[in-house]
Chain A
């Protein structure tokens, strides 16, 4: 059978660093960076005699994620020790979850080519992060434990993905979701979002899974696509030659555009899991769940559907949904100007977004043009008090001077002249001094209307109501 008839089967394991202030089992700061080993304590250094104490916020953040993806949240879950030796793992084991994770099942929704897709989740569990190993060109390496003990949640998907592109979109959807929930930055470059991929191939239509390989060192969305595509091609080539895919872990090398097997000789990871004796089972009761549910924001997919329902274009909707503060800003503006969703969207996307470095600034109380102010401006344009062009000038001044549109318009008589007499006067002057153009227009050259309109606008310093200008000119030139 030609490998053209093979399909790829992909599952992702995504680690999300939770944005708590302190670490999951100790009180050191969880902040990123700092001088090596500046944020350490006996617990996260694995000193003899140290004991873990659970940060409730880490649990709450994972619960909210579980609710958002409609997982089953276990009322009682357990931590387990996962053993391996590595310099950045101070205790010689990670405190993770094995048999009884906090969340089971659930699904993540993403969109690809306009279609809504769902990827089922196996589980979501909590664990502590390891430190960082730093290598230089000498014969030694260095270990920094600042990151050791920062809370992680691991999202394990079922192998429901079928292409590298789908995998990247799934990952993007996870990123958007954790940012909506406010539980993580989801920043791959900084390591607050990490991804390993499990890839296998099988004949299309087969139900059994092929041998899978695990891909690691995927550090960006581009890597996700490249690494998975490369692996699918590699496996197809193997199978095409009649060889078998070996179950192994492979490291992606972005510089060389290829992966290589990890050189861990022996135990293919016997982690020797057993229940963590230093932490009794964690109970998440109905009251906790109820409070967490109430605190859930509108999720990306629901927001996507709602905004489409308002008649916005798919392209505009995807911009508004990309970051929660953008949609939040939009909703607040819409509340003040409910009749103009499309216009508000345009103004937000074209004028406001470009002026902030970070979408979070949109919901900062200090934002130069708050949502209600934008709504006010849009109303003025739609009423005809301002032309679009004038509106943009007014907006620029609103942003710079932190003033409301109504105030600027009133204070400086910046508004469209809608006095029919004034406009008619200007139109007559233009028509009278352009006899050639008048003749050509009446001769059938309709495009010359722009010439007349432009001149009238010049006459009026751009302040004439364009609709009226058009009406009056048509009458005069008829």
Chain B
């Protein structure tokens, strides 16, 4: 019983914004099927009353005071921009209403 099929791989690739070639999709489906089968073995472990371990550190979140510090100079902030205009990063036209959270 396959754990994952090519359609689902395509859906996930879309979620993750990865354009995959057809042969990549098929190869990934096959590989992930095997890996998922192996990974699913954790489900056999009894974890009733076990707290999730999200951090390997025992301390609480440190905080800092509200002081303004050094920002990057504009040329530094933009130095790696693949496309820019003046001091903004350029992207293909965003159609309002097609994204965001």
Contacts and interface: CB of A to CB of B under 8 A. Distances in A.
A54 B67 CA distance: 12
B41 interface: no
B55 interface: yes
B89 A55 contact: no
Contacts of B15: 266-267, 270, 272
A385 interface: no
Interface in A211-253: 217, 251
A42 B72 contact: yes
Contacts of B67: 21-22, 27
B-side interface mostly: loop
A135 B93 contact: yes
Contact of A263 (B11, B54, B91, B98): B98
Interface stretch (B1-9, B21-29, B42-50, B58-66): B58-66
B70, B72, B92, B98, most chain A CB atoms within 10 A: B72
A41 B96 contact: no
Contact of B97 (A76, A78, A88, A263): A263
Interface in B42-88: 52, 54-55, 57, 59-72, 74, 77-78, 85-88
Interface in A409-431: none
B82 to A, nearest CB: 12
A58 B66 CA distance: 8
Interface in A103-143: 130, 133-135, 138-143
Interface string A77-105: 01000101111110000100000000000
B94 A28 contact: no
Interface in A255-287: 260, 262-264, 266-267, 269-272, 275, 277, 279-283
A283 B101 contact: no
Contacts of B96: 135, 251
Nearest to A54: B63
A-side interface mostly: loop
A20 B69 CA distance: 13
B78 A20 contact: no
A28 B97 CA distance: 29
A89 B100 CA distance: 8
A141 B92 contact: yes
A456 interface: no
Given A37-B74, A140-B93, A275-B54, A57 B66 contact: yes
Contacts of A58: 66
B37 to A, nearest CB: 22
Contacts of B94: 87, 133, 135, 141
A56 interface: yes
A236 B41 CA distance: 51
A54 B97 contact: no
B77 A45 contact: yes
Contacts of B89: 37, 87, 142-143, 145
B95 interface: yes
30 contacts: A22-B67, A27-B68, A28-B71, A37-B88, A41-B70, A42-B72, A53-B62, A54-B64, A55-B63, A86-B101, A87-B91, A133-B94, A135-B93, A135-B96, A138-B93, A139-B92, A142-B85, A143-B90, A144-B88, A251-B96, A264-B99, A272-B15, A275-B52, A277-B54, A277-B55, A280-B57, A280-B59, A281-B55, A281-B61, A282-B61
Interface of A: 20-22, 27-29, 35-42, 45, 53-59, 76, 78, 82, 84-89, 94, 130, 133-135, 138-145, 217, 251, 260, 262-264, 266-267, 269-272, 275, 277, 279-283
The 3 closest A-B pairs by CB, nearest first: A27-B69, A142-B88, A57-B66
